[in-house]
Structure 1
Amino acid sequence: MAPLPPPLLLLVPALLAASAGRAPPRSIAVVGAGLGGSAVAYFSQQQFGPQVQLDVYEQAGVGGRLATVTVNKQQYESRGASIHALSLHMQDFVKTLGLKHRREVPGKSAIFSGEHFVLEETDWYLLNLFRLWWHYGISFLRLQMWVEEVMEKFMRIYKYQAHGYAFSSLEELLRSLGGDAFVNMTQRSVAESLLEVGVTQRFVDDVIAAVLRSSYGQSVLVPAFAGAMSLAGAQGSTWAVEGGNKLVCSGLLKLTKANVIPARVTGISLHSSEGRALYQVHYEGSEGQGSAFYDMVVVTTPLHPSRSNFIFENFEPPIASFPSAFQPSVTSVVHGYLNSSYFGFPDPKLFPFASILTTDTPDLFFNAMDNICPVNISAAFRRKQPQEAAVWRVLSQQPLDKQQLKTLFRSYYSVQVMEWQSYPRYDSTKSLPPIMLHDNLFYLSGVEWVASSMEMIAVAAKNVALLAYNRWYQDLEKIDQKDLMHKVKTEL
């Protein structure tokens, strides 16, 4: 029998379900049109079929944190800039949507202590390895082995999802990948885990701290699993989408023909109809207040008073926001001339670095900065020379004042500042949020308390779509199964 072409292949779950007797849900609401909302709309349509009405509520604009800023008529990523080579869902989105990888423009990195560079990258791979060994012994090898072991187990999720398996809690998902050890990695720090496998304190203070300040804006007290995901991105090859990573979000919503409603969701109330749950989504838009009923709802925005002031009505037991905090994060996109003297290079022509990470030093007022390239890179594009005016992205926990800007830049043409609470503050809680809030009411953003990256959100989106599908058709053999590696092998 010839294999089914891709469009028909996507309809297989819905066709099988139809033959099982129960009609698919008529309508699904998705709260949020960032990557999580866009991906869950796409995966939900894959599972339930194109006849399901998909309404996506978004107040600010499609893309969420995958945003761009404009400098001199060119667009630049403000956050969510790089994607790991092993991000298979993101790779699949790009291929499905006909998007392209952005051409890579190489540049060297260094780690700055506030007084001097503690580690500098060169153009020679062997020299870089020698410097790592000279400063830190075999710590970098122990780090690499630790990260690779975590990633190898994490990659099992793609096999599980390809076979339709889903998990009703984040703990169950982690346990299926790496046993209790993975669950424990959300409760202990990355520093503790690395010291345990023989990484030196100096390496943790210099290198690990710099990577985590750059990615999460936080210290080495970040939980081990979140730290491993961040360190995997720092070690492996990364890529980005030509035209901007936010094109993935708009592309997925266009592909699914989702109805994007420009409104803020204010609450969700539970009702019943013909013996089944029905969810009323209340919203507020430019034309006033409104509401609509749905068979299923997926919340992809953080359920935290500072981020979304939801009111849940008629639920028993009541649904509350989850006690947690978010890390303040400020991105300053500066078009100007770098003050290379601050970094020990009086002659700007000799400054060799495109990316500067920082150690956890009390007097340092920024976490990282990099000379960024536009989202559209022509074949003739070249990175600005250090003595030229360039576009720099500076990450900090507080907005930079004029004196701090003057410290980093000799002069500048423009500064664009974006403030947000982008990542969970990982030391503020010890419990993971639920995925299921009610029978057909799901919460996607809780996955960020495990680790926050584009691929983690995409994995969580597929899990929610599979969980919703398996619960709707009562295929309980596909939920929270033990010994999944064995099951998957026997199904091949």
Structure 2
Amino acid sequence: MEKFAIIFLFFLVVWPGRAIAGTPDAVTAPPERIAVIGAGIGGAAAAHFLRQYFGHNTQIDVYESGSVGGRLAKTTISGQDHEIGGATIHPLSLHMKEFVQLLGLKELQHPNNLLAVYDGEQFVFEESEWFIVNFVKLIWRYGFDFLRVKMWLENYQHKFMRIYQHQALGYSFTTMEKLLQALGGDKLSKMTKHSIDEALQEIGVSQRFIDEMVGPVIRLTSGEGVNVNAFVGMTSLSETESDLWTVEEGNQMVCSGLLYSAKVSLIKGKVTSIEAKKRPRQDGEVVTSYEVNYLAGPDTGYGMYDIVVVATPLHRGDPEIHFHAFSQPIDVVRGQYQQKVVTLVEGHLNTSFFNYHGAEPFRPTTVATTIHSGNFILGASVSVPIVRGEAPARVWRVLSPEPLGEEGLRHLFRSHTAMHQAQWFAHPRYSPDDRVPPFVLHDHLYHLNAIEWAASTVEMMAIAAKNGALLAHHRWYRQLDKIDQDPLQKLKVEL
């Protein structure tokens, strides 16, 4: 019996099939209508999983006021398509890999970057194409700090990867804290409560390595410093690994593909409010429905739903969606989202701006800056076209907290032939003092973007989407034994 249980668990984890959501009870009818607010990766993935769990007789409406894909977006510069939003996907992003395979899309591997770190006066570190040269450089300047960080990173990545096992078994969580607790105990759950600076100092990493290597990477990914929480720091450092990839023809292809395969109704409108409505059923039980009100140009409209999944940011700094007639206030955070400006420039980088006057050609493909650099950019990297086989023009992707303007372009580039700029409220402004809000806002009202207050990546939103769909399923059919439990721990007890 023990051997069978272990084999069964292994089958669930490695088999690329659907998650087990449990068998609905015979008494509760499935929901008639579900609303998903937002058609970015979170909303599109949620629609996909909701269709799996609730079947084809449930109507799913997806509301989107902008473009499908949200912060996953592409643009054309000099005749080539480039990512202007979320650009890279980690090799261990199993949900995104599953979506790409399901939709018949293709992965486009990113070439390995050569990193240079600028401190305001010089490049304190410049990566070589030769592994042994980099190893010697790192040892010479930082001792074994880079190995300490690598081991720390792999340890916590391994713990967090258990989420795929939990979701394969159909388990879900009402809060991020409970999710992290189930995956890695107190150590993992407390990563959102202290900074990456504190976490790395605790394992003996020097302040020099934190300031010159860890900080610049976090500036490139989150636009902030080493005061971000340790979980954000972990996900940021993961984006320096090799084998990063993007979806050929653009990451937004996943969003449009999932919505199409889920056979949803896409409503082009901006949701303005959600109102709780009480109504009696035939058996006498009073249940709550949700009225979703929206604007479509000059016109207004509304829809009534049994379940609502909010897949767009909610925070009191920008209350775009209002909640009415709820018995308790809806729990949203007080913080704000971080603005990030992405500028794609086809041109020749002005290396003298970084005090680089070497006789050899400038080989780095990513320039990161320290917090002490006093620079108006967070970093820059060579952007790769998202169509395979095209000979790329040299297009730089510059990240900055504010628009560069003509003066900034003149400083950074000796000359340029094309430029495109986009501004995003990319993710929350992180602090270890942040409170991560719950996924459950009301009986059958869920908020996927709560996960962003722990960390924000493409795969994190896909994980939140599956968690939210499982929560919606289990709470609808009253399968409470599938919520806020650790299935692997339960299996150990049973064995």
Alignment partner of 2:35 out of 26, 29, 33: 29
Relative to 1, partners in 2 of residues 1:364 and 1:12: Cα closer, same or farther, differing over 3 Å? closer
Confirm or deny: 8 A CA contact 2:366 2:380 kept in the other structure.
yes
Confirm or deny: 8 A CA contact 2:119 2:373 kept in the other structure.
no
Relative to 1, partners in 2 of residues 1:307 and 1:35: Cα closer, same or farther, differing over 3 Å? farther
- Partners in 1 of 2:309 and 2:288 — Cα distance? 14
Alignment of 1:58-137 (within 5 A): 58-137=64-143
Aligned to 1:222: 228
Q: Secondary structure at the match of 2:478?
A: coil
- Partners in 2 of 1:99 and 1:232 — Cα distance? 24
Aligned to 2:484: 480
State which drifts further: 126-135 or 444-453: 126-135
Q: Does 1:422 align with 2:426?
A: yes
Relative to 1, partners in 2 of residues 1:486 and 1:306: Cα closer, same or farther, differing over 3 Å? closer
Alignment partner of 2:385 out of 366, 374, 396: 374
State which drifts further: 50-59 or 298-307: 298-307
Amino acid at match of 2:487: L
**If the length of structure 1 is used for normalisation, what is the TM-score?**
0.92
- Partners in 2 of 1:348 and 1:415 — Cα distance? 28
Q: Secondary structure at the match of 1:468?
A: helix
Aligned to 1:272: 278
- Partners in 2 of 1:320 and 1:168 — Cα distance? 13
Where does structure 1 lack aligned partners over 5 or more consecutive residues?
A: 4-8, 385-389
Confirm or deny: 8 A CA contact 1:108 1:121 kept in the other structure.
yes
Confirm or deny: 8 A CA contact 2:195 2:432 kept in the other structure.
no
Confirm or deny: 8 A CA contact 1:330 1:420 kept in the other structure.
yes
Post-superposition CA distance 1:115-139 (Å, at most 9, x none): 2111111111121111111110010
Relative to 1, partners in 2 of residues 1:90 and 1:246: Cα closer, same or farther, differing over 3 Å? same
How far has the Cα of 1:58 moved from its partner? Answer: 0.5
- Partners in 2 of 1:490 and 1:75 — Cα distance? 53
Aligned to 1:193: 199
- Partners in 1 of 2:318 and 2:363 — Cα distance? 40
Q: Does 1:50 align with 2:56?
A: yes
- Partners in 2 of 1:348 and 1:73 — Cα distance? 32
Identity of aligned residues (%): 43
Alignment of 1:2-17 (within 5 A): 13=21, 16-17=23-24
How far has the Cα of 1:235 moved from its partner? Answer: 2.9
- Partners in 2 of 1:248 and 1:348 — Cα distance? 44
Post-superposition CA distance 1:299-322 (Å, at most 9, x none): 111112554511111101122542
- Partners in 2 of 1:239 and 1:491 — Cα distance? 40
Alignment of 1:285-296 (within 5 A): 285-286=296-297, 288-296=299-307
Confirm or deny: 8 A CA contact 1:40 1:462 kept in the other structure.
yes
Confirm or deny: 8 A CA contact 2:120 2:373 kept in the other structure.
no
Aligned to 1:442: 446
Q: Does 1:343 align with 2:354?
A: yes
Relative to 1, partners in 2 of residues 1:344 and 1:362: Cα closer, same or farther, differing over 3 Å? closer
How far has the Cα of 1:114 moved from its partner? Answer: 2.2
Confirm or deny: 8 A CA contact 1:341 1:347 kept in the other structure.
no
- Partners in 1 of 2:360 and 2:301 — Cα distance? 59
How far has the Cα of 1:335 moved from its partner? Answer: 1.9
- Partners in 2 of 1:91 and 1:222 — Cα distance? 28
Confirm or deny: 8 A CA contact 2:18 2:168 kept in the other structure.
no
Q: Does 1:281 align with 2:287?
A: no
Aligned to 1:403: 407
**If the length of structure 2 is used for normalisation, what is the TM-score?**
0.92
Q: Secondary structure at the match of 2:167?
A: helix
Aligned to 1:20: 26
Aligned to 1:254: 260
Confirm or deny: 8 A CA contact 1:302 1:308 kept in the other structure.
no
Q: Secondary structure at the match of 2:239?
A: helix
How far has the Cα of 1:487 moved from its partner? Answer: 2.5
Q: Secondary structure at the match of 1:431?
A: coil
- Partners in 2 of 1:13 and 1:118 — Cα distance? 52
Aligned to 2:312: 301
Aligned to 1:6: none
- Partners in 2 of 1:321 and 1:183 — Cα distance? 20
How far has the Cα of 1:377 moved from its partner? Answer: 2.2
Confirm or deny: 8 A CA contact 2:71 2:424 kept in the other structure.
no
Post-superposition CA distance 1:88-132 (Å, at most 9, x none): 111111111111011433442211112211111111112111111
Aligned to 1:239: 245
Confirm or deny: 8 A CA contact 2:194 2:432 kept in the other structure.
no
Amino acid at match of 1:44: L
Q: Does 1:158 align with 2:164?
A: yes
Post-superposition CA distance 1:321-359 (Å, at most 9, x none): 420122121111112222122234457971111111111
Relative to 1, partners in 2 of residues 1:107 and 1:11: Cα closer, same or farther, differing over 3 Å? closer
Alignment partner of 1:146 out of 147, 152, 161: 152
Aligned to 2:323: 312
Alignment partner of 2:369 out of 353, 358, 364: 358
Relative to 1, partners in 2 of residues 1:200 and 1:347: Cα closer, same or farther, differing over 3 Å? closer
Report the number of matched residues.
Answer: 477
How far has the Cα of 1:403 moved from its partner? Answer: 2.1
Confirm or deny: 8 A CA contact 2:332 2:437 kept in the other structure.
no
- Partners in 2 of 1:348 and 1:469 — Cα distance? 63
Amino acid at match of 2:385: P
- Partners in 1 of 2:494 and 2:237 — Cα distance? 33
State which drifts further: 110-119 or 472-481: 110-119
- Partners in 2 of 1:54 and 1:396 — Cα distance? 38
